[in-house]
Amino acid sequence: MHDSDHHDEWKQQETVIAIEGKNPGEWDYITYPNWDEAIEAVHVARSQGKAAVIYSGASPPVPP
């Protein structure tokens, strides 16, 4: 395994996003197999004017 592969290992975790629902205060939770797909879905939702966030799962490593 290359160092770059090891560096991006965190991105392979299953990741849940929350997207603003139809009613105020309502959120839809969607699970993606990895961070890359999840963050793409967040960007798409935001481009449609919806609030969207990574809810749980993969997150970038904290620098030492």
Instruction: Quickly state the pLDDT bin for 2 (edges 50, 70, 90).
Output: low
pLDDT digits (tens, 9 = 90+) for 9-62: 888 889 999 999 999 899 999 999 999 999 999 999 999 999 999 998 867 777
In this prediction the pTM is 0.77
Coil vs helix vs strand at 58:
coil
Side-chain-side CA neighbours of residue 42 (13 Å): 17
Amino acid at 9: E
